[in-house]
Amino acid sequence: MKQARTIIGGILVLLLMVSPALAGTPKYVFYFIGDGLGASQRQFSEFFLRAKTHNPSRKLLMNTFEVAGINSTYAADTLITDSAAAGTALASGVKTNKGVIGKSPDGKNVKTLVEAAENDGMATGLITTTRLTHATPAAFAAHNISRDNENEIANDYLNSDVDFLAGGGIRHFIPQSEALKNTDAVGQPIKSKRKDERNLVQEFEAKGYRTFIGMQGAKAFATTDFSSVDKVFAAFTYTHLPYEIERIHQYTHLPSLARMTRAGIDVLSNDPDGFFLMVEGGRIDHAAHANDATGVIYDTIAFDDAIKAAYEFYLSHKNETLIVVVGDHETGGMGLGMDSMGYKLDLTCLMDTKVSVEDTLNYGDGQYQGDKAAYYQFLEAQFGLKNLTEDEKARLEKAMLDADAGKTVGYYQVNPAALTAAHILSQRANISWTTTIHTATMIPMSATGTAADQFSGYKDNTEIARAMAQVLGFSL
């Protein structure tokens, strides 16, 4: 009998060595959230990567993980969620109402995974390509009845003791009267959105944080050795960080999501008790709101590159690391295929695009402002819309007339010329969009590492947080 137990024990040890997914409690946890990242966004970005690299077997790393599942996303008060309710579910395992951050529907604060990790002595970090005060990161460290109360959410960050914070949104952390002389990392002036004179940047510094603000902060971030830094607060831009398609073409001095993730790892791994790090690819959602196919693709690939940074760490800590990749909801109703082009997708027409729909065509220097000839030239040179057909040109002409008349399109009141250009490019690729807002479509999930098997199968978004808490021995 003793010999049998010895043999069984040996087999179990071997199983744990061979399959980290069966192992016990992880010491290092990565929670990747692709905002708006549905199945179509993941798949089409992989197809694009294959075409761009001329490698038909190329895969996104997140699509190779051995554990996979699918998640529902509805909120407590609506079947189509927003990022606040979805973020709260992913952070705390609690269904709440649309727009609510870190609270239950009756207004009570809920405990988050970040708070539980801190109670357990772990280091914690939050990284995003949106404003730090935006819904998803806020749901892990703040508690507010409205996601729009971003100044109050900024105050919560100061009190949260999260060790590593990186993203955009400096406007909510500086005094009302302050306008920083130096620009942000995309060359925009920095002014405050606060209603008081609190300088949270200085308050972070007083608590021992190394701060990286605006253009100067972005450049310093790129050359800093983070292995000797204890705490970081980085806010590079007035609002969100730029889309990846524009970061790589215009703002190469700005740290990528992967670079921020590596810096987070360097800081947090100094803690002997391990760490919990949430990384959000937040602008995937924004691109999908604008029905911007290339915007979605480049930000999804940047998100996958950040996962690679975590995976490199995992390879050196296989029996101690868990990586979970989820989305909070799908955005845009992105479809891969339309009757007009039959059974194919055309990736080649997307290769020449260099700008985003939202930041450039809708609000930036590529916005249509009455000069039709200049707009056509810009679309050809920067957006990859060449050799317009008569039908495409007619649609753009109508959209420009609508813009001249002050009309907008969709829930978020997009410039009709910008949205029409986006739709023409998408249709050339054979991509369809059903909406400019979120959908109730279920979201793919993938995981690898210690206890990854606990995340497989069909789950509601609240079950992901609860599974993570159980794996870590936390009480939410």
d(C-alpha 286, C-alpha 441), whole Å: 17
Tell me, yes or no, whether 9 lies in a domain.
no
Measured CA to CA in angstroms, residue 398 lies from 345, 383, 404, 459 at distances of 27, 19, 10, 45
Query: 206 and 174 in one domain?
Result: yes
Instruction: Tell me: do 249 and 226 sit in the same domain.
Output: yes
* Residues 197, 137 share a domain: yes
Q: Is residue 127 situated within a structural domain?
A: yes
Structural domains counted in the chain: 2
| Residue 250: other Cβ atoms inside 10 A | 16
The predicted model scores a pTM of: 0.94
Same domain, 100 and 198: yes
DSSP for 62-92 reads GGS-SEEEEEE---SS-SS--HHHHHHHHHH
| 11 within domain boundaries | no
Q: Are residues 247 and 369 in the same domain?
A: no
Q: How far apart are CA 229 and CA 306, in angstroms?
A: 20
Residues 134/179, Cβ–Cβ less than 8 Å: no
Residues 390 and 277 in one domain: no
33 and 128 together in one domain: yes
For 131, phi then psi, to 5°, come to -60, 145
| Domain shared by 323 and 371, yes or no | no
Rounded CA-CA distance 158/142 in Å is 10
Pairing of strands 28-34, 321-327: parallel
Domain span holding position 367? 339-430
Inter-residue contact 92 to 465 (CB < 8 Å): yes
In this structure, is residue 204 part of a structural domain?
Answer: yes
In this prediction, residue 16 carries a pLDDT of: 43
Identify the CATH number of the domain in which residue 46 sits. 3.40.720.10
Shared domain for 291 and 329, answered yes or no, is yes
Q: Are residues 36 and 57 in the same domain?
A: yes
Assess if residue 12 is contained within a domain: no
pLDDT (tens place) for every residue of the chain, 476 residues total? 444 444 444 444 444 444 445 558 999 999 999 999 999 999 999 999 999 999 999 999 999 999 999 999 999 999 999 999 999 999 999 999 999 999 999 999 999 999 999 999 999 999 999 999 999 999 999 999 999 999 999 999 999 999 999 999 999 999 999 877 778 999 999 999 999 999 999 999 999 999 999 999 999 999 999 999 999 999 999 999 999 999 999 999 999 999 999 999 999 999 999 999 999 999 999 999 999 999 999 999 999 999 999 999 999 999 999 999 999 999 999 999 998 888 999 999 999 999 999 999 999 999 999 999 999 999 999 999 999 999 999 999 999 999 999 999 988 889 999 999 999 999 999 999 999 999 999 999 999 999 999 999 999 999 999 999 999 999 99
302: CB partners within 8 A, 6+ apart: 129, 244, 247, 256, 257, 258, 281
Supply the pLDDT for residue 21.
Answer: 52
Residues 315 and 400 reside in one and the same domain: no
User: Do residues 234 and 129 lie in contact, with contact meaning Cβ atoms separated by under 8 Å?
Assistant: no
Residue 5 lies in a domain: no
Strands 330-331 and 438-439: antiparallel
- Residue 208 is encoded by which pair of tokens? 């021992």
Whether 328 and 343 map to the same domain: the answer is: no
